[in-house]
Each structure stands twice: as structure tokens, then as C-alpha cells.
Amino acid sequence: MFQTLARGCAAGAAGTTALNAVTYADMALRGRPTSSVPEDVVDRITADTGHPVPGTGDLRENRLTGLGALSGIAVGVAAGATVALVHRAGVRVPLWLGGPVTGALAMAASDLPIARTGVSDPRTWSAKDWLSDIVPHVVYGLVTYGVVAAADHRD
């Protein structure tokens, strides 16, 4: 069980790295700014739970930026661990299916808090907004599921 969780966490970390690379490449190619959504979600959740992020000005903004990035890493690693556990339980599908499903799991884990906190409403997103969300998550899923499934092929 420990090996499965460790492999899943490593797979999720690899997928998260791939997601970040695709996102940053998109920003570089299109010249688009970074999104403040992760830190906005952290800000809302911490405030709503009665534990707002301390500080003022740049100090607080820097903390929110760091916490937003860390929350994305946590989602990616946790989704990888979840997929590894499901895989261990015997659910094995080909990469072309497992990758996008894994990406959809991570995307839901990211987008549901965005909608639930009211930071953004995905129903109002443009096609370009959705593409900027879907493509990195599919890449995440392919890498994550690929690493998890690769354990089936070890010597």
C-alpha cells in the first residue's frame, strides 16, 4: 500500500510539473498574465474558515501566491495518489482513456472550489478560457496515469 501511495504521489508530482510547463509555455507564447485564481480561492477559503492569511500588502499577497501554488501541487499529488489506489484495486484502462479521465479528476478538484467559493463561474468562461484549463489538465492526466500504469510493465 505504501509503495502504491508513493508511486501515485510521484506520478502526481510529475503530472503537476507537466501541467505547469504547459501553462507557462502558453503564457510565454500568448503573452498572457498569470492567473490570480489560486490565491483568490485560498483567500476565500481561509477567510470563510475563520483563519485568514496574516499580513498586509505585499507580505500577504506573497503568502497567498505561495499558498495558491502549493494548493495546486497538493491537488496534483493527491489526484495521483487516488489514481494509483484505483489502479491497484484493479481498474486498468488504456492510456488514451486513463489519461484524460485522470486529467478530468484533477480539473474537477481544481475547478469545483473556484465555483463553490464564487471566485469565478466556469459557466461564463470563453472557449479560450476552457482550452487554457483543459489542455494542461489533459497533459497532467497523461503523464500521471502513464507513470502509474508504467508500474504494470516493470521487470
When pLDDT is cut at 50, 70 and 90, the band that residue 152 belongs to is: confident
Per-residue pLDDT tens over the stretch 50-91: 999 999 999 999 999 999 999 999 999 999 999 999 999 999
Residue 35: count of CB within 10 angstroms of its CB: 15
The C-alpha angle 81, 88, 90, rounded to 5 degrees, equals 135
pTM of the model: 0.92
Out of 19-23, 30-34, 142-146, least confident range: 30-34
Using alpha carbons, list the distances in angstroms from residue 125 to 111, 115, 121, 131: 12, 11, 7, 10
89: cell is 484495486
What single-letter DSSP state applies at residue 60? H
* Residue type at position 130: W
Residue 102: count of CB within 10 angstroms of its CB: 32
Residue 13 in this model has a pLDDT that exceeds 60: yes
16: cell is 503537476
Cβ–Cβ under 8 Å, residues 136 and 26: yes
Q: Residue 6's pLDDT is what?
A: 95
With a pLDDT cut of 70, the percent of the chain lying above it is 98
Residue 32 in this model has a pLDDT that exceeds 70: yes
**Which residue ranges make up each domain of the chain?**
1-153
* Residue type at position 146: G
Q: What is the pLDDT averaged over residues 32-46?
A: 94
Q: Residue 155's pLDDT is what?
A: 43
Q: Residue 154's pLDDT is what?
A: 62
Q: What is the pLDDT averaged over residues 93-99?
A: 95
